[in-house]
C-alpha cells in the first residue's frame, strides 16, 4: 500500500469516528423519545401514522408479541414485493416494458429484500420496472433495516430495564427508525450522490451514438430466442454492427442512498456500486462507504447510552474497529500484490504514480485497489453486500476475508441493528466463559446469564454455520448445484460456499460467476435467507424478553469489567474461535487450496 492508500483508509475511519457520537446520541434520543425538536415538529406526523394504522404508541409489548408484530409485518412485505414483480407489466412506470419476473426469481427477490439481504439473481436494469424498484425494493430497504434496528433496540431494553416485563413497541420502534433516522439521512445522501452523477429520473433509457461503431460476433438466435446450431452442433455466429449505445437510467439515487444507509446493498443496476451511475466518483464512493457503516457503528454509541454506560458501547465499537482493520489489511495486501499467474504475461501490476496496479480484474480505475478492497471489507463485515468490484475475481485469500466476515456472522459493525445484536450474543457467550473463569455466575451489564439465555445464544450461533455448511453440502452433491459454478477447481467451490454464506448472513454480495437464477438456488438461497434472518431474530427477542425480567446485579470489584481492553480481546477471541473454527476446514478446500495451488504453479 502506498502512503496515499493509508491516508484514504485513515480518513474514512476518522470521519466515521467523528460521526459516531452525534448520530449515536441522536438515535438513543429518538428511541427514548427525548429529542425536543422531533417531539415538537415531527410528532404530529408520527402520531397520525399511528392513528391511521390503529397503533397505540403507549402500548408496551411482551417479547412474543413484539416478535409476532415484526414477523407479520415482514411477511406482508414479502408478499407485496412478490406480487409487485409478478404484475409489473401491467403497472405504470415501466418505460422499458419489462415483463413479469419469473415466480422463482420473484420469491427469491421478495425474501431477499425483506430479510435485508438483497441477494440479486436478476440484473436490475434488464428486469425490474421503476415502480418495482421504488414501491417494492426501496420500501423494503427502509423497513427491513428498521426491523433490524427495532429488534436491536428491544434487546438493548432487555439489558437497560430492571425487572420489567416488556421490551417496547415494535410499531413505534420501526416507525421512528424509518421516519427520524433512515429517511432524513437517505434524502441527504441521495441529493449529494446526484450531484456526483448518480442518475435520478423517471424517463426511459437513453440512446447515444458510439464514437467508433462496434463490430462483434454473436450467436445467431431464432425468432423464439433459441440458439441456432450447425450440423456439428456448434452455435452459428453472425457478424453484427452497433452504432448506438443504449444507456440504462432510472430513479437510482433515491434507492442507492437507502441501500447503503440501511446496509441493504441491492443494486439498482446489475454491476451494483461498480456501475458509474451508482457510484460515479471517488467522493461518491467515500460517502457511500461512510453511509454503509455509519448506522451500525453509531448504534454502538446508542447502545452504551441506552444502557447508561457509554464505556460499554465504546468497548464493542473498539472490538469491531480492531477486527475490521485486521480483516482489511490482508485484503489490501493480497489485492495489491496482484495475480501471481499474470506475472509472466508481460503485464505490469506494480503500483506507481500513474497506476494503482494490483489485481485489476473486475475493478474500476477510479477506485483502484485500495477503495475496492476497502469497500469489499466494509460491505461484507456490515451486512450491506453491495460491490464496487467483482469479488469473484479477487485473489483467493483476499476473497476469503469477505467470505470469512460473512461466516463470522457479520458482527463487525454488521447490518443495521442485526450486527450489534449479533455482537451482543457473542458478548453473552464471551462473558459466560470468562465469568466462569473469575468464579462467578456470569453477568453482562448486570444481568445474569443463565441456562435460558445460553440456550438461545447457542441457537443464534448454531444456525448460520448450519445453514451455510449444510446448504453448501447439498449444493455440491446434486448436479443442479454443481453446474452453476462458473469457475473451475476450488474457486468454483468457493462460489457455491460464498452464495450460502452470503444468504445465511443476509449480506447479498456474491462471487457472482455463480448462475443462481435457477430453481434450485432460488429456492435454497431463499430459504437460507429466511432462516438466517428470523431464526436469529426470534431467539434474540427471546433473550431480550428473558433479560428484561432479571434484576440488575450491582457492580462490585468481583464483577467482570466489560469495558476494558481485556474484554475487547476476549470478545474478539470468542468470535474468532466460534466463527473461524467452524469454517477452517471448508475454507481450506476453497480459497486456501486455490491460493496454495496458484503459489505452487507460480
**Contacts (CB under 8 A) with another protein, residues 572-601:** 573, 577-578, 581-586, 588-589, 592-594, 596-600
Q: Rounded distance, CA 73 to CA 75, Å? A: 5
| CB-CB contact of 97 with 126 (8 Å) | no
- Is 242 or 311 the residue whose CB approaches another protein more closely? 242
- Is 431 or 530 the residue whose CB approaches another protein more closely? 431
Q: Rounded distance, CA 57 to CA 47, Å? A: 8
- Is 24 or 579 the residue whose CB approaches another protein more closely? 579
Q: Rounded distance, CA 43 to CA 263, Å? A: 26
Query: Considering only residues 94, 102, 270, 518, which one is a binding residue for another protein as defined by CB under 8 A?
Result: 270
Q: Cell numbers of 75, please?
A: 411477511
User: Within positions 327 to 346, which residues make up the interface with another protein, using CB under 8 A?
Assistant: 338-339, 341-342, 345-346
Q: Rounded distance, CA 128 to CA 132, Å? A: 6
Residue 86 interacting with another protein (CB under 8 A): no
Query: Considering only residues 295, 408, 499, 570, which one is a binding residue for another protein as defined by CB under 8 A?
Result: 570
Q: Cell numbers of 146, please?
A: 428498521
Measured from the Cβ of residue 439, the count of other Cβ atoms closer than 10 Å reads: 8
Q: Please, which residues have CB within 8 angstroms of residue 395's CB and are 6 or more apart in sequence?
A: 334, 335, 337, 338, 339, 359, 595
Residue 72 interacting with another protein (CB under 8 A): yes
Angle at 268 between CA 267 and CA 269, to 5 degrees: 85
User: Within positions 93 to 132, which residues make up the interface with another protein, using CB under 8 A?
Assistant: 123, 125-126
- Is 410 or 443 the residue whose CB approaches another protein more closely? 443
Residue 4 interacting with another protein (CB under 8 A): yes
* Residues binding another protein: number (CB under 8 A): 198
SS3 label, residue 189? helix
Residue 36 interacting with another protein (CB under 8 A): no
| CB-CB contact of 256 with 288 (8 Å) | yes
User: Within positions 432 to 471, which residues make up the interface with another protein, using CB under 8 A?
Assistant: 432-441, 446, 449-451, 453-455, 458, 461-462, 465-466, 469-470
Helices (H), 505-564: 519-549
User: Within positions 345 to 384, which residues make up the interface with another protein, using CB under 8 A?
Assistant: 345-349, 352-368, 370-372
- Is 184 or 519 the residue whose CB approaches another protein more closely? 184
Rg (CA), the chain: 24
Q: In b/e form, how buried is each residue of 463-497, taking b as 16+ CB within 10 angstroms?
A: bbbbbbbebbeebeeeeebeebbebeebbbbbbbb
Residue 417 interacting with another protein (CB under 8 A): no
Q: Cell numbers of 62, please?
A: 411482551
Q: How far is the CB of 390 from another protein (least distance, A)?
A: 4
Q: In b/e form, how buried is each residue of 314-324, taking b as 16+ CB within 10 angstroms?
A: bbbbbbbbbbb
Q: Rounded distance, CA 67 to CA 466, Å? A: 23
User: Within positions 37 to 66, which residues make up the interface with another protein, using CB under 8 A?
Assistant: 49, 52-55
Q: How far is the CB of 554 from another protein (least distance, A)?
A: 6
Query: Considering only residues 242, 308, 483, 519, which one is a binding residue for another protein as defined by CB under 8 A?
Result: 242
Contact region with another protein (CB under 8 A), list: 138-146, 294-302, 408-416, 541-549: 138-146
Binding mask 282-321 for another protein (x = CB under 8 A): xx-xx-----------------------------------
Residue 552 interacting with another protein (CB under 8 A): yes
- Is 34 or 433 the residue whose CB approaches another protein more closely? 433
Contact region with another protein (CB under 8 A), list: 148-156, 410-418, 531-539, 559-567: 559-567
- Is 28 or 434 the residue whose CB approaches another protein more closely? 434
Q: How far is the CB of 424 from another protein (least distance, A)?
A: 16
Query: Considering only residues 94, 281, 517, 518, which one is a binding residue for another protein as defined by CB under 8 A?
Result: 281
Q: Cell numbers of 110, please?
A: 421478495
Q: Cell numbers of 13, please?
A: 475511519
Amino acid at each position: 500500500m502506498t502512503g496515499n492508500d493509508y491516508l484514504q483508509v485513515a480518513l474514512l475511519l476518522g470521519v466515521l469516528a467523528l460521526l459516531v457520537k452525534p448520530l449515536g446520541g441522536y438515535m438513543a434520543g429518538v428511541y427514548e423519545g427525548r429529542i425536543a425538536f422531533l417531539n415538537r415538529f415531527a410528532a404530529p406526523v408520527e402520531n397520525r401514522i399511528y392513528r391511521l394504522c390503529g397503533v397505540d404508541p403507549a402500548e408496551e409489548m411482551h417479547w412474543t408479541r413484539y416478535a409476532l408484530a415484526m414477523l407479520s409485518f415482514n411477511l406482508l412485505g414479502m408478499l407485496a414485493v412478490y406480487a409487485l414483480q409478478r404484475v409489473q407489466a401491467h403497472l405504470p412506470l415501466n418505460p422499458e416494458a419489462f415483463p413479469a419476473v419469473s415466480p422463482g426469481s420473484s420469491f427469491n427477490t421478495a425474501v431477499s429484500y425483506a430479510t435485508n439481504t438483497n441477494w440479486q439473481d436478476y440484473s436490475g436494469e434488464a428486469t425490474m420496472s421503476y415502480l418495482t424498484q421504488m414501491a417494492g425494493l426501496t420500501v423494503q430497504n427502509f423497513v427491513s433495516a428498521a426491523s433490524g434496528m427495532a429488534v436491536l433496540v428491544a434487546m438493548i431494553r432487555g439489558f437497560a430495564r430492571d425487572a420489567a416485563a416488556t421490551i417496547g413497541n415494535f410499531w413505534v420502534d420501526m416507525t421512528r427508525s424509518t421516519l427520524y433516522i433512515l429517511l432524513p439521512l437517505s434524502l441527504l445522501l441521495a441529493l449529494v450522490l446526484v450531484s456526483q452523477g448518480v442518475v435520478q429520473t423517471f424517463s426511459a433509457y437513453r440512446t447515444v451514438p458510439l464514437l467508433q461503431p462496434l463490430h462483434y460476433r454473436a450467436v445467431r438466435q431464432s425468432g423464439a430466442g433459441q440458439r441456432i446450431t450447425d450440423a456439428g452442433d456448434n452455435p452459428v455466429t453472425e457478424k453484427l454492427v452497433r452504432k448506438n449505445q443504449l444507456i440504462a437510467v432510472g430513479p437510482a439515487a433515491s434507492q442507492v442512498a437507502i441501500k447503503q444507509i440501511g446496509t441493504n446493498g441491492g443494486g439498482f443496476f446489475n454491476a451494483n456500486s461498480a456501475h458509474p451511475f451508482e457510484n460515479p466518483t471517488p467522493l461518491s464512493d467515500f460517502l457511500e462507504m461512510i453511509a454503509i457503516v455509519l448506522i451500525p457503528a453509531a448504534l454502538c454509541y446508542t447502545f452504551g447510552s441506552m444502557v447508561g454506560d457509554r464505556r460499554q458501547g465504546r468497548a464493542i465499537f473498539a472490538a469491531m474497529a480492531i477486527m475490521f482493520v485486521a480483516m482489511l489489511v490482508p485484503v489490501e495486501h493480497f489485492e495489491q500484490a496482484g495475480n501471481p499467474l499474470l506475472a509472466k504475461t508481460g503485464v505490469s501490476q506494480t503500483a506507481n504514480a500513474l497506476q494503482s496496479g494490483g489485481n485489476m480484474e473486475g475493478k474500476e480505475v477510479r477506485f483502484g485497489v485500495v477503495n475496492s478492497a476497502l469497500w469489499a471489507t466494509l460491505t461484507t463485515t456490515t451486512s450491506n453486500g453491495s460491490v464496487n468490484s467483482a469479488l469473484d475475481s479477487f485473489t483467493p485469500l483476499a476473497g476469503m476475508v469477505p467470505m470469512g466476515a460473512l461466516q463470522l456472522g457479520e458482527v463487525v459493525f454488521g447490518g443495521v441493528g442485526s450486527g450489534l445484536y449479533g455482537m451482543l450474543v457473542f458478548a453473552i457467550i464471551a462473558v459466560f466463559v470468562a465469568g466462569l473463569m473469575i468464579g462467578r455466575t456470569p453477568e453482562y451489564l448486570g444481568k445474569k446469564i443463565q441456562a435460558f439465555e445460553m440456550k438461545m445464544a447457542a441457537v443464534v450461533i448454531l444456525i448460520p454455520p448450519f445453514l451455510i455448511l449444510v446448504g453448501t453440502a447439498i449444493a455440491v452433491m446434486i448436479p443442479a448445484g454443481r453446474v452453476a459454478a462458473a469457475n473451475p477447481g476450488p474457486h468454483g467451490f468457493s462460489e457455491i460456499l460464498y452464495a450460502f454464506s452470503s444468504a445465511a448472513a443476509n449480506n447479498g454480495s456474491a462471487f457472482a460467476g455463480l448462475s443462481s437464477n435457477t430453481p434450485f438456488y432460488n429456492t435454497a438461497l431463499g430459504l437460507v435467507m429466511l432462516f438466517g434472518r428470523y431464526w436469529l431474530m426470534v431467539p434474540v427477542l427471546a433473550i431480550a424478553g428473558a433479560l428484561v425480567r432479571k434484576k440488575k446485579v450491582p457492580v462490585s470489584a468481583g464483577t467482570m469489567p466489560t469495558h476494558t481492553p481485556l474484554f475487547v480481546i476476549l470478545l474478539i477471541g470468542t468470535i474468532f474461535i466460534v466463527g473461524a473454527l467452524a469454517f477452517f476446514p471448508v475454507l481450506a478446500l476453497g480459497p486456501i487450496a486455490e491460493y496454495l495451488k496458484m503459489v505452487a504453479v507460480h
